[in-house]
Amino acid sequence: MSEFASLVPRVQGVVLLPGQEGFEEERAGFQRALVHRPDVIVGAASARDVAAAVEFATVRGLPVAVQATGHGLSVAMDGGVLVSTRRMDGLRVDAPARTVRLEAGVRWEQVTAEAARHGLAPLSGSAPHVGAVSYVLGGGLPLLGRTHGYAADHVRALEVVTADARIRQVTPDSDPDLFWALLGGRDNFGIVTALDMALVPQSRLYGGGLYFDAPHAADVLDAWRRWTATVPDTMNSSLALMPVPDAPALPEPLRGRYVAHVRIAHTGGAEEGEALIAPLRAVAPRLLDTVAEMPYTASGSIHHDRKEPVAFASDDAMLSGLTASDVRTVLDTAGPGAPVPCIVELRHLGGALAYRKGSPNAVGHRDAQYMLFVLSPLVGPFTPEKVRPVHRALFDGLAPRTLGRFLNFMGSGENAGPEQVRSAYDADDHARLVRLKAVHDPSNTFRVNYNLEPGTP
Ligand SMILES: Cc1cc2nc3c(=O)[nH]c(=O)nc-3n(C[C@H](O)[C@H](O)[C@H](O)COP(=O)(O)OP(=O)(O)OC[C@H]3O[C@@H](n4cnc5c(N)ncnc54)[C@H](O)[C@@H]3O)c2cc1C
Protein backbone atom coordinates (compact mmCIF):
# COMPACT_ATOMS: atom_id res chain seq x y z
CA MET A 1 0.00 0.00 0.00
CA SER A 2 1.43 3.43 -0.96
CA GLU A 3 1.89 6.03 1.72
CA PHE A 4 -1.05 8.00 0.32
CA ALA A 5 -3.32 4.97 0.12
CA SER A 6 -2.83 4.60 3.87
CA LEU A 7 -5.32 7.44 4.18
CA VAL A 8 -8.14 5.25 2.86
CA PRO A 9 -9.15 3.54 6.12
CA ARG A 10 -9.09 6.89 7.95
CA VAL A 11 -11.52 8.63 5.61
CA GLN A 12 -15.26 8.14 5.29
CA GLY A 13 -15.35 9.94 1.91
CA VAL A 14 -12.98 9.06 -0.96
CA VAL A 15 -9.22 9.07 -1.43
CA LEU A 16 -8.08 9.57 -5.03
CA LEU A 17 -4.58 9.21 -6.43
CA PRO A 18 -3.40 10.60 -9.80
CA GLY A 19 -4.56 8.34 -12.61
CA GLN A 20 -7.40 6.84 -10.59
CA GLU A 21 -10.96 7.05 -11.89
CA GLY A 22 -12.61 10.18 -10.51
CA PHE A 23 -9.34 12.07 -9.88
CA GLU A 24 -9.68 14.37 -12.95
CA GLU A 25 -13.32 15.14 -12.28
CA GLU A 26 -12.68 15.86 -8.61
CA ARG A 27 -9.93 18.41 -9.22
CA ALA A 28 -11.63 20.19 -12.15
CA GLY A 29 -13.30 23.45 -11.16
CA PHE A 30 -15.11 26.35 -12.86
CA GLN A 31 -11.81 28.22 -13.40
CA ARG A 32 -9.96 26.18 -16.06
CA ALA A 33 -6.87 28.38 -16.37
CA LEU A 34 -5.17 26.42 -13.60
CA VAL A 35 -5.57 22.99 -12.12
CA HIS A 36 -4.28 21.52 -8.87
CA ARG A 37 -1.67 18.73 -9.21
CA PRO A 38 -1.85 17.13 -5.76
CA ASP A 39 -0.26 13.86 -4.67
CA VAL A 40 -3.64 12.85 -3.31
CA ILE A 41 -7.19 14.17 -3.12
CA VAL A 42 -9.28 13.59 -0.02
CA GLY A 43 -12.94 13.89 -1.04
CA ALA A 44 -14.08 14.69 2.48
CA ALA A 45 -17.50 13.66 3.76
CA SER A 46 -17.11 15.20 7.23
CA ALA A 47 -15.01 17.45 9.43
CA ARG A 48 -13.27 14.32 10.70
CA ASP A 49 -12.18 13.49 7.14
CA VAL A 50 -10.76 17.00 6.80
CA ALA A 51 -8.90 16.58 10.10
CA ALA A 52 -7.48 13.25 8.91
CA ALA A 53 -6.23 14.88 5.70
CA VAL A 54 -4.63 17.79 7.56
CA GLU A 55 -2.95 15.49 10.07
CA PHE A 56 -1.62 13.27 7.27
CA ALA A 57 -0.15 16.32 5.50
CA THR A 58 1.36 18.08 8.50
CA VAL A 59 3.16 14.94 9.73
CA ARG A 60 4.87 14.82 6.33
CA GLY A 61 5.39 18.58 5.89
CA LEU A 62 3.07 18.65 2.87
CA PRO A 63 0.90 21.65 1.95
CA VAL A 64 -2.89 21.40 2.12
CA ALA A 65 -5.23 23.07 -0.36
CA VAL A 66 -9.02 23.09 -0.34
CA GLN A 67 -11.56 23.27 -3.14
CA ALA A 68 -15.34 23.36 -3.28
CA THR A 69 -16.50 24.42 -6.77
CA GLY A 70 -13.25 25.80 -8.21
CA HIS A 71 -14.72 29.26 -8.97
CA GLY A 72 -11.98 31.02 -7.04
CA LEU A 73 -8.80 29.07 -7.67
CA SER A 74 -5.90 31.45 -7.02
CA VAL A 75 -2.78 29.23 -7.04
CA ALA A 76 -2.40 25.70 -8.41
CA MET A 77 -0.85 23.19 -6.04
CA ASP A 78 2.10 21.08 -7.15
CA GLY A 79 2.23 18.14 -4.77
CA GLY A 80 0.52 17.88 -1.41
CA VAL A 81 -2.98 17.09 -0.20
CA LEU A 82 -6.08 18.56 -1.83
CA VAL A 83 -9.22 18.48 0.29
CA SER A 84 -12.33 18.49 -1.86
CA THR A 85 -15.46 19.54 0.06
CA ARG A 86 -18.17 18.97 -2.53
CA ARG A 87 -19.68 16.03 -0.59
CA MET A 88 -20.17 18.17 2.50
CA ASP A 89 -23.49 19.65 1.43
CA GLY A 90 -25.51 19.64 4.66
CA LEU A 91 -27.74 22.64 5.26
CA ARG A 92 -30.16 23.53 8.09
CA VAL A 93 -32.29 26.67 8.39
CA ASP A 94 -33.43 27.75 11.85
CA ALA A 95 -36.42 29.87 10.84
CA PRO A 96 -37.29 31.41 14.25
CA ALA A 97 -33.65 32.41 14.79
CA ARG A 98 -33.32 33.48 11.11
CA THR A 99 -30.02 31.64 10.72
CA VAL A 100 -28.59 28.89 8.55
CA ARG A 101 -25.88 26.36 9.25
CA LEU A 102 -24.18 25.26 6.08
CA GLU A 103 -21.34 22.89 5.32
CA ALA A 104 -18.25 23.58 3.24
CA GLY A 105 -19.53 22.18 -0.07
CA VAL A 106 -22.87 24.03 -0.20
CA ARG A 107 -23.59 26.32 -3.16
CA TRP A 108 -25.70 29.46 -2.76
CA GLU A 109 -28.58 28.12 -4.86
CA GLN A 110 -29.19 25.42 -2.22
CA VAL A 111 -29.33 27.99 0.60
CA THR A 112 -31.56 30.35 -1.37
CA ALA A 113 -34.11 27.62 -2.09
CA GLU A 114 -34.22 26.39 1.51
CA ALA A 115 -34.33 29.88 3.07
CA ALA A 116 -37.17 30.93 0.73
CA ARG A 117 -39.42 28.27 2.26
CA HIS A 118 -39.35 30.41 5.41
CA GLY A 119 -39.59 33.84 3.71
CA LEU A 120 -35.86 34.40 4.23
CA ALA A 121 -32.83 34.97 1.99
CA PRO A 122 -29.08 34.53 2.35
CA LEU A 123 -26.59 37.30 1.59
CA SER A 124 -25.56 35.55 -1.60
CA GLY A 125 -23.73 37.08 -4.52
CA SER A 126 -24.43 37.34 -8.20
CA ALA A 127 -23.92 33.65 -9.08
CA PRO A 128 -26.09 30.96 -7.45
CA HIS A 129 -23.56 28.25 -8.37
CA VAL A 130 -20.68 29.77 -6.36
CA GLY A 131 -19.65 28.01 -3.12
CA ALA A 132 -21.10 29.72 -0.05
CA VAL A 133 -18.33 29.13 2.51
CA SER A 134 -15.36 30.43 0.53
CA TYR A 135 -17.42 33.40 -0.68
CA VAL A 136 -18.17 34.34 2.94
CA LEU A 137 -14.56 33.79 4.09
CA GLY A 138 -13.38 36.17 1.34
CA GLY A 139 -15.79 38.83 2.65
CA GLY A 140 -18.75 38.03 0.45
CA LEU A 141 -20.01 41.02 -1.51
CA PRO A 142 -23.74 40.31 -1.77
CA LEU A 143 -26.29 41.46 -4.31
CA LEU A 144 -27.92 43.28 -1.38
CA GLY A 145 -24.65 44.59 0.08
CA ARG A 146 -25.55 48.28 0.37
CA THR A 147 -28.64 47.29 2.34
CA HIS A 148 -27.15 44.61 4.60
CA GLY A 149 -23.34 44.79 4.44
CA TYR A 150 -20.81 42.07 3.65
CA ALA A 151 -21.83 38.44 4.18
CA ALA A 152 -18.92 38.08 6.63
CA ASP A 153 -20.59 40.69 8.86
CA HIS A 154 -23.42 38.19 9.47
CA VAL A 155 -21.46 35.09 10.51
CA ARG A 156 -22.23 33.82 14.02
CA ALA A 157 -19.98 30.75 14.35
CA LEU A 158 -17.43 28.74 12.40
CA GLU A 159 -16.35 25.12 12.56
CA VAL A 160 -12.76 24.85 11.39
CA VAL A 161 -9.94 22.34 11.14
CA THR A 162 -6.76 24.20 12.02
CA ALA A 163 -3.16 23.25 11.14
CA ASP A 164 -2.89 21.14 14.31
CA ALA A 165 -5.67 18.95 12.82
CA ARG A 166 -8.11 19.89 15.60
CA ILE A 167 -11.79 20.48 14.86
CA ARG A 168 -12.70 23.73 16.61
CA GLN A 169 -15.99 25.52 17.15
CA VAL A 170 -15.09 29.20 16.90
CA THR A 171 -17.26 32.16 17.90
CA PRO A 172 -16.41 35.81 18.57
CA ASP A 173 -16.52 34.93 22.30
CA SER A 174 -14.67 31.60 22.28
CA ASP A 175 -11.72 32.70 20.15
CA PRO A 176 -11.99 36.31 19.02
CA ASP A 177 -8.67 36.43 17.14
CA LEU A 178 -9.21 33.27 15.11
CA PHE A 179 -12.83 34.19 14.35
CA TRP A 180 -11.75 37.62 13.12
CA ALA A 181 -8.86 36.21 11.05
CA LEU A 182 -10.89 33.48 9.32
CA LEU A 183 -13.39 36.05 8.02
CA GLY A 184 -11.14 37.70 5.46
CA GLY A 185 -8.06 35.49 5.86
CA ARG A 186 -9.97 32.62 4.20
CA ASP A 187 -8.00 29.34 4.20
CA ASN A 188 -4.83 30.80 5.73
CA PHE A 189 -6.01 29.72 9.17
CA GLY A 190 -7.68 26.41 8.47
CA ILE A 191 -10.35 24.66 6.48
CA VAL A 192 -13.80 25.81 7.50
CA THR A 193 -16.05 22.76 7.55
CA ALA A 194 -19.29 24.57 8.44
CA LEU A 195 -20.57 28.00 9.41
CA ASP A 196 -23.63 29.59 10.98
CA MET A 197 -24.86 32.89 9.62
CA ALA A 198 -27.88 35.15 9.73
CA LEU A 199 -30.49 35.24 6.96
CA VAL A 200 -32.49 38.34 6.03
CA PRO A 201 -36.28 38.61 5.71
CA GLN A 202 -36.22 39.35 1.99
CA SER A 203 -38.42 36.97 0.04
CA ARG A 204 -38.98 39.44 -2.84
CA LEU A 205 -37.09 42.28 -4.46
CA TYR A 206 -37.42 44.66 -7.40
CA GLY A 207 -34.61 43.75 -9.74
CA GLY A 208 -33.31 42.69 -13.10
CA GLY A 209 -31.23 44.10 -15.92
CA LEU A 210 -31.37 47.13 -18.23
CA TYR A 211 -29.43 46.34 -21.41
CA PHE A 212 -28.24 49.10 -23.73
CA ASP A 213 -26.49 48.89 -27.10
CA ALA A 214 -22.77 49.75 -27.51
CA PRO A 215 -23.24 53.27 -28.97
CA HIS A 216 -24.93 54.28 -25.69
CA ALA A 217 -22.31 52.73 -23.41
CA ALA A 218 -20.55 56.04 -22.56
CA ASP A 219 -23.81 57.85 -21.77
CA VAL A 220 -25.14 54.95 -19.71
CA LEU A 221 -21.94 54.58 -17.72
CA ASP A 222 -21.75 58.29 -16.96
CA ALA A 223 -25.45 58.49 -16.06
CA TRP A 224 -25.12 55.46 -13.75
CA ARG A 225 -22.04 57.00 -12.11
CA ARG A 226 -23.91 60.23 -11.31
CA TRP A 227 -27.10 58.37 -10.32
CA THR A 228 -25.30 56.17 -7.77
CA ALA A 229 -24.43 59.29 -5.77
CA THR A 230 -28.16 59.97 -5.26
CA VAL A 231 -29.69 56.61 -4.32
CA PRO A 232 -30.67 55.27 -0.85
CA ASP A 233 -29.13 52.16 0.74
CA THR A 234 -32.11 50.10 -0.43
CA MET A 235 -30.79 50.44 -3.98
CA ASN A 236 -28.07 47.97 -4.98
CA SER A 237 -26.67 48.11 -8.48
CA SER A 238 -23.77 47.39 -10.76
CA LEU A 239 -22.91 48.01 -14.36
CA ALA A 240 -21.20 45.65 -16.78
CA LEU A 241 -19.75 46.34 -20.22
CA MET A 242 -19.45 43.16 -22.22
CA PRO A 243 -19.56 41.37 -25.51
CA VAL A 244 -22.48 38.90 -25.54
CA PRO A 245 -21.88 35.61 -27.36
CA ASP A 246 -24.07 34.84 -30.37
CA ALA A 247 -25.60 31.83 -28.64
CA PRO A 248 -29.18 30.54 -29.04
CA ALA A 249 -29.52 30.15 -25.25
CA LEU A 250 -29.26 33.93 -24.79
CA PRO A 251 -32.10 36.45 -25.31
CA GLU A 252 -32.39 37.27 -29.02
CA PRO A 253 -32.02 41.09 -28.71
CA LEU A 254 -28.60 40.67 -27.04
CA ARG A 255 -27.00 37.94 -29.15
CA GLY A 256 -23.70 38.88 -30.72
CA ARG A 257 -23.87 42.47 -29.46
CA TYR A 258 -21.69 44.53 -27.16
CA VAL A 259 -23.89 45.75 -24.30
CA ALA A 260 -23.93 47.99 -21.26
CA HIS A 261 -25.86 46.03 -18.64
CA VAL A 262 -27.15 47.84 -15.55
CA ARG A 263 -28.06 45.38 -12.79
CA ILE A 264 -30.67 46.38 -10.20
CA ALA A 265 -31.53 44.78 -6.84
CA HIS A 266 -33.80 47.08 -4.85
CA THR A 267 -34.94 45.97 -1.41
CA GLY A 268 -37.66 48.62 -1.01
CA GLY A 269 -41.02 48.30 -2.76
CA ALA A 270 -41.48 47.94 -6.52
CA GLU A 271 -43.11 51.35 -6.82
CA GLU A 272 -40.20 53.11 -5.13
CA GLY A 273 -37.71 51.06 -7.16
CA GLU A 274 -39.43 51.99 -10.39
CA ALA A 275 -39.30 55.69 -9.53
CA LEU A 276 -35.64 55.42 -8.56
CA ILE A 277 -34.52 53.81 -11.80
CA ALA A 278 -36.63 56.03 -14.08
CA PRO A 279 -33.62 58.29 -14.87
CA LEU A 280 -31.60 55.26 -16.01
CA ARG A 281 -34.41 53.98 -18.22
CA ALA A 282 -34.53 57.42 -19.82
CA VAL A 283 -30.86 57.51 -20.88
CA ALA A 284 -31.31 55.57 -24.13
CA PRO A 285 -33.56 52.94 -25.74
CA ARG A 286 -33.11 49.54 -24.06
CA LEU A 287 -32.37 46.38 -26.02
CA LEU A 288 -33.95 44.43 -23.15
CA ASP A 289 -35.43 45.42 -19.79
CA THR A 290 -36.03 42.66 -17.25
CA VAL A 291 -36.41 44.81 -14.12
CA ALA A 292 -39.56 43.79 -12.26
CA GLU A 293 -40.68 42.43 -8.91
CA MET A 294 -39.25 38.95 -8.42
CA PRO A 295 -38.77 36.30 -5.74
CA TYR A 296 -35.27 36.29 -4.24
CA THR A 297 -34.90 32.75 -5.61
CA ALA A 298 -34.75 34.32 -9.11
CA SER A 299 -31.97 36.74 -8.13
CA GLY A 300 -29.39 34.80 -10.18
CA SER A 301 -31.10 36.19 -13.29
CA ILE A 302 -30.03 39.75 -12.38
CA HIS A 303 -26.38 39.33 -13.39
CA HIS A 304 -27.01 36.22 -15.45
CA ASP A 305 -23.45 34.98 -14.79
CA ARG A 306 -22.04 32.20 -16.91
CA LYS A 307 -22.41 28.68 -15.46
CA GLU A 308 -20.15 26.67 -17.77
CA PRO A 309 -16.49 26.28 -16.72
CA VAL A 310 -14.02 28.52 -18.56
CA ALA A 311 -10.36 29.52 -18.40
CA PHE A 312 -10.12 33.20 -17.53
CA ALA A 313 -7.86 35.96 -16.27
CA SER A 314 -9.33 38.54 -13.92
CA ASP A 315 -8.40 41.37 -11.61
CA ASP A 316 -10.10 43.93 -9.37
CA ALA A 317 -9.72 47.22 -7.53
CA MET A 318 -11.58 48.95 -4.72
CA LEU A 319 -12.12 52.57 -5.76
CA SER A 320 -12.59 55.64 -3.57
CA GLY A 321 -14.73 57.29 -6.25
CA LEU A 322 -15.42 57.45 -9.95
CA THR A 323 -15.05 60.61 -12.03
CA ALA A 324 -16.10 61.37 -15.60
CA SER A 325 -12.48 60.95 -16.64
CA ASP A 326 -12.33 57.52 -14.91
CA VAL A 327 -15.32 56.47 -16.98
CA ARG A 328 -13.43 57.46 -20.13
CA THR A 329 -10.42 55.44 -18.96
CA VAL A 330 -12.60 52.36 -18.48
CA LEU A 331 -14.13 52.73 -21.93
CA ASP A 332 -10.86 53.53 -23.69
CA THR A 333 -8.83 50.69 -22.16
CA ALA A 334 -11.33 47.84 -21.70
CA GLY A 335 -14.50 48.97 -23.51
CA PRO A 336 -15.90 47.96 -26.92
CA GLY A 337 -12.64 48.74 -28.75
CA ALA A 338 -10.35 46.77 -26.41
CA PRO A 339 -7.83 44.49 -28.19
CA VAL A 340 -9.06 41.47 -26.16
CA PRO A 341 -12.62 40.68 -25.03
CA CYS A 342 -13.19 42.16 -21.55
CA ILE A 343 -16.15 41.88 -19.24
CA VAL A 344 -15.83 44.99 -17.10
CA GLU A 345 -17.96 45.34 -14.03
CA LEU A 346 -18.42 48.24 -11.64
CA ARG A 347 -20.32 47.54 -8.42
CA HIS A 348 -21.72 50.36 -6.34
CA LEU A 349 -20.53 49.99 -2.73
CA GLY A 350 -21.11 52.23 0.31
CA GLY A 351 -24.25 52.02 2.43
CA ALA A 352 -24.06 49.16 4.96
CA LEU A 353 -20.84 47.89 3.31
CA ALA A 354 -19.07 50.89 4.82
CA TYR A 355 -20.05 50.11 8.42
CA ARG A 356 -17.88 47.99 10.64
CA LYS A 357 -20.98 46.58 12.31
CA GLY A 358 -21.88 42.99 13.04
CA SER A 359 -19.36 40.20 13.40
CA PRO A 360 -15.72 41.27 13.75
CA ASN A 361 -13.74 40.42 10.60
CA ALA A 362 -10.71 41.34 8.51
CA VAL A 363 -12.61 42.54 5.42
CA GLY A 364 -10.81 45.68 4.25
CA HIS A 365 -11.39 48.94 2.39
CA ARG A 366 -14.76 49.73 3.90
CA ASP A 367 -14.52 53.28 2.58
CA ALA A 368 -14.50 52.16 -1.07
CA GLN A 369 -17.36 53.53 -3.15
CA TYR A 370 -17.05 51.19 -6.13
CA MET A 371 -15.44 47.88 -6.97
CA LEU A 372 -13.99 47.51 -10.45
CA PHE A 373 -13.62 43.99 -11.83
CA VAL A 374 -12.42 42.78 -15.21
CA LEU A 375 -12.51 39.29 -16.65
CA SER A 376 -11.24 38.02 -20.00
CA PRO A 377 -11.75 34.47 -21.22
CA LEU A 378 -8.47 32.77 -22.16
CA VAL A 379 -9.62 31.20 -25.40
CA GLY A 380 -8.09 30.93 -28.88
CA PRO A 381 -5.62 33.76 -29.49
CA PHE A 382 -6.40 35.44 -26.15
CA THR A 383 -3.52 34.17 -24.06
CA PRO A 384 -2.50 35.53 -20.65
CA GLU A 385 0.35 37.42 -22.39
CA LYS A 386 -2.21 39.27 -24.56
CA VAL A 387 -4.79 39.80 -21.85
CA ARG A 388 -2.69 40.93 -18.87
CA PRO A 389 -1.34 44.17 -20.46
CA VAL A 390 -4.91 45.25 -21.27
CA HIS A 391 -6.00 44.64 -17.68
CA ARG A 392 -2.90 46.42 -16.42
CA ALA A 393 -3.65 49.51 -18.55
CA LEU A 394 -7.14 49.64 -17.05
CA PHE A 395 -5.94 49.42 -13.44
CA ASP A 396 -2.99 51.76 -14.01
CA GLY A 397 -5.44 54.31 -15.34
CA LEU A 398 -7.54 54.00 -12.17
CA ALA A 399 -4.52 53.97 -9.81
CA PRO A 400 -5.22 57.44 -8.34
CA ARG A 401 -8.62 56.18 -7.18
CA THR A 402 -7.47 52.72 -5.99
CA LEU A 403 -7.53 51.84 -2.29
CA GLY A 404 -6.58 48.19 -2.75
CA ARG A 405 -8.24 44.96 -3.80
CA PHE A 406 -11.19 42.79 -2.84
CA LEU A 407 -10.11 39.24 -2.08
CA ASN A 408 -12.96 37.41 -3.80
CA PHE A 409 -12.25 38.93 -7.21
CA MET A 410 -8.44 39.19 -7.14
CA GLY A 411 -7.82 36.51 -9.72
CA SER A 412 -5.02 34.02 -10.03
CA GLY A 413 -1.36 33.57 -10.94
CA GLU A 414 0.62 36.79 -10.64
CA ASN A 415 -2.39 38.42 -8.94
CA ALA A 416 -1.90 36.12 -5.95
CA GLY A 417 1.58 37.42 -5.01
CA PRO A 418 2.44 38.81 -1.54
CA GLU A 419 2.02 42.47 -2.53
CA GLN A 420 -1.37 41.79 -4.10
CA VAL A 421 -2.48 39.90 -0.99
CA ARG A 422 -1.28 42.73 1.25
CA SER A 423 -3.33 45.18 -0.82
CA ALA A 424 -6.55 43.31 0.00
CA TYR A 425 -6.39 44.42 3.64
CA ASP A 426 -6.15 47.60 5.64
CA ALA A 427 -2.52 47.95 6.80
CA ASP A 428 -3.19 47.30 10.51
CA ASP A 429 -5.35 44.30 9.70
CA HIS A 430 -2.62 42.83 7.47
CA ALA A 431 -0.07 43.18 10.28
CA ARG A 432 -2.47 41.49 12.72
CA LEU A 433 -3.21 38.69 10.23
CA VAL A 434 0.45 37.76 9.71
CA ARG A 435 1.00 37.78 13.48
CA LEU A 436 -1.97 35.45 13.93
CA LYS A 437 -0.79 33.26 11.06
CA ALA A 438 2.43 32.67 13.01
CA VAL A 439 0.33 31.53 15.98
CA HIS A 440 -2.14 29.29 14.15
CA ASP A 441 -0.16 28.01 11.15
CA PRO A 442 3.56 28.59 11.88
CA SER A 443 4.68 26.06 9.24
CA ASN A 444 2.43 27.61 6.63
CA THR A 445 0.66 24.33 5.88
CA PHE A 446 -2.13 26.37 4.29
CA ARG A 447 0.06 28.12 1.69
CA VAL A 448 -1.58 27.27 -1.63
CA ASN A 449 -3.80 30.35 -1.58
CA TYR A 450 -3.67 34.14 -1.25
CA ASN A 451 -0.95 33.47 1.23
CA LEU A 452 -0.25 35.37 4.43
CA GLU A 453 3.25 34.34 5.39
CA PRO A 454 3.65 33.81 9.13
CA GLY A 455 5.06 37.05 10.56
CA THR A 456 6.64 38.08 13.82
CA PRO A 457 4.30 37.04 16.63
C1 LIG B 1 -19.28 33.88 -11.83
C2 LIG B 1 -18.78 34.35 -10.50
C3 LIG B 1 -19.56 35.22 -9.74
C4 LIG B 1 -19.12 35.65 -8.48
N5 LIG B 1 -19.88 36.54 -7.76
C6 LIG B 1 -19.44 36.98 -6.55
C7 LIG B 1 -20.17 37.93 -5.79
O8 LIG B 1 -21.25 38.39 -6.19
N9 LIG B 1 -19.66 38.36 -4.62
C10 LIG B 1 -18.47 37.87 -4.12
O11 LIG B 1 -18.05 38.26 -3.02
N12 LIG B 1 -17.76 36.97 -4.82
C13 LIG B 1 -18.21 36.53 -6.02
N14 LIG B 1 -17.45 35.66 -6.76
C15 LIG B 1 -16.16 35.23 -6.22
C16 LIG B 1 -16.35 34.01 -5.35
O17 LIG B 1 -17.02 34.34 -4.15
C18 LIG B 1 -14.98 33.44 -4.98
O19 LIG B 1 -14.32 33.08 -6.16
C20 LIG B 1 -15.10 32.26 -4.05
O21 LIG B 1 -13.82 31.98 -3.52
C22 LIG B 1 -15.60 31.04 -4.76
O23 LIG B 1 -15.75 29.99 -3.84
P24 LIG B 1 -15.95 28.51 -4.39
O25 LIG B 1 -16.08 27.62 -3.24
O26 LIG B 1 -17.08 28.55 -5.37
O27 LIG B 1 -14.62 28.27 -5.20
P28 LIG B 1 -13.28 27.39 -4.83
O29 LIG B 1 -12.39 27.66 -6.01
O30 LIG B 1 -13.65 26.00 -4.56
O31 LIG B 1 -12.70 28.07 -3.58
C32 LIG B 1 -11.92 29.24 -3.74
C33 LIG B 1 -10.82 29.22 -2.70
O34 LIG B 1 -11.41 29.43 -1.42
C35 LIG B 1 -10.71 28.71 -0.45
N36 LIG B 1 -11.64 27.76 0.17
C37 LIG B 1 -12.54 26.97 -0.44
N38 LIG B 1 -13.23 26.25 0.47
C39 LIG B 1 -12.75 26.60 1.68
C40 LIG B 1 -13.03 26.20 3.02
N41 LIG B 1 -13.98 25.29 3.28
N42 LIG B 1 -12.32 26.75 4.03
C43 LIG B 1 -11.36 27.67 3.78
N44 LIG B 1 -11.06 28.09 2.53
C45 LIG B 1 -11.73 27.56 1.50
C46 LIG B 1 -9.55 28.03 -1.18
O47 LIG B 1 -8.44 28.89 -1.19
C48 LIG B 1 -10.05 27.94 -2.60
O49 LIG B 1 -9.02 27.90 -3.55
C50 LIG B 1 -17.87 35.21 -8.00
C51 LIG B 1 -17.07 34.35 -8.77
C52 LIG B 1 -17.52 33.92 -10.00
C53 LIG B 1 -16.64 33.02 -10.82
234-272 tens-digit pLDDT: 999 999 999 999 999 899 999 999 999 999 999 999 999
Class assignment of domain 204-419? Answer: alpha beta
State the SS3 of the chain.
Answer: CCCHHHHHHHCCCEEECCCCCCHHHHHCCCECCCCCECCEEEECCCHHHHHHHHHHHHHHCCCEEEECCCCCCCCCCECCEEEECCCCCCEEEECCCCEEEEECCCEHHHHHHHHHCCCCECCCCCCCCCEHHHHHHCCCCCCCHHHHCCHHHHEEEEEEECCCCCEEEECCCCCHHHHHHHHHHHHHCCEEEEEEEECECCCEEEEEEEEEEHHHHHHHHHHHHHHHCCCCCCEEEEEEEEECCCCCCCCHHHCCCEEEEEEEEECCCHHHHHHHHHHHHCCCCCCEECCEEEEHHHCHHHHCCCCCCECEEEEEEEECCCCHHHHHHHHHHHCCCCCCCCEEEEEECCHHHHCCCCCCCCCCCCCCCEEEEEEEECCCCCCHHHHHHHHHHHHHHCHHHEEECCHHHCCCHHHHCHHHHHCCCCHHHHHHHHHHHHHHCCCCCCCCCCCCCCCCC
DSSP strand pairing (81-84 vs 40-43): parallel
Query: 188 C-alpha to center of ligand 1: Å?
Result: 14
For residue 29, give the ligand 1 atom closest to its CA.
Answer: 29
Give tens-digit pLDDT for 76-91: 999 999 999 999 999 9
Which pLDDT belongs to residue 447?
98
Which pLDDT belongs to residue 356?
80
Q: Which of 215, 237, 379, 398 is nearest to 309 (CA)?
A: 379
Which pLDDT belongs to residue 124?
98
Give tens-digit pLDDT for 55-72: 999 999 999 999 999 999
Instruction: For ligand 1, say whether the CB of 47 is within 6 Å of any of its atoms.
Output: no
Instruction: For ligand 1, say whether the CB of 187 is within 6 Å of any of its atoms.
Output: yes
In which residue ranges of the chain is CATH 3.40.462.20 found?
204-419
Q: How far apart, in Å, are the Cα atoms of 62 and each of 50, 58, 105? A: 14, 6, 23
Mean pLDDT of the chain: 97
**Band (2; pLDDT cuts 50, 70, 90):** confident
**pTM, to two decimals:** 0.97
Instruction: For ligand 1, say whether the CB of 72 is within 6 Å of any of its atoms.
Output: yes
In which residue ranges of the chain is CATH 3.30.43.10 found?
7-84
Q: How deeply is 173 buried, as exposed, middle or buried, from its count of CB atoms within 10 A (0-12, 13-18, 19+)?
A: exposed
In which residue ranges of the chain is CATH 3.30.465.10 found?
91-201
DSSP strand pairing (14-16 vs 155-161): unpaired
Which residue's alpha carbon is nearest to atom 6 within ligand 1? 125
Query: 373 C-alpha to center of ligand 1: Å?
Result: 15
* Mean pLDDT along residues 159-178: 98
Query: 85 C-alpha to center of ligand 1: Å?
Result: 13
* Mean pLDDT along residues 411-423: 94
Q: How far apart, in Å, are the Cα atoms of 427 and each of 132, 197, 442? A: 27, 27, 21
Give tens-digit pLDDT for 435-447: 999 999 999 999 9
Q: Which amino acid is at 190?
A: G
Which residue's alpha carbon is nearest to atom 39 within ligand 1? 134
Instruction: For ligand 1, say whether the CB of 116 is within 6 Å of any of its atoms.
Output: no
Which pLDDT belongs to residue 457?
54
Select 91-201's CATH number: 3.30.460.80, 3.30.465.10, 3.40.190.10, 3.40.50.2300: 3.30.465.10
What's the CATH fold of domain 7-84? Answer: 3.30.43
- Report d(CA 74, CA 72) in Å as an integer: 6
Instruction: For ligand 1, say whether the CB of 238 is within 6 Å of any of its atoms.
Output: no
Indicate if the pLDDT at residue 456 is higher than 90.
no
For residue 182, give the ligand 1 atom closest to its CA.
Answer: 43
Which pLDDT belongs to residue 249?
87
Indicate if the pLDDT at residue 1 is higher than 90.
no
Which pLDDT belongs to residue 413?
87
Give tens-digit pLDDT for 336-391: 999 999 999 999 999 999 998 899 999 999 999 999 999 999 999 999 999 999 99
Query: 130 C-alpha to center of ligand 1: Å?
Result: 6
**Band (323; pLDDT cuts 50, 70, 90):** very high
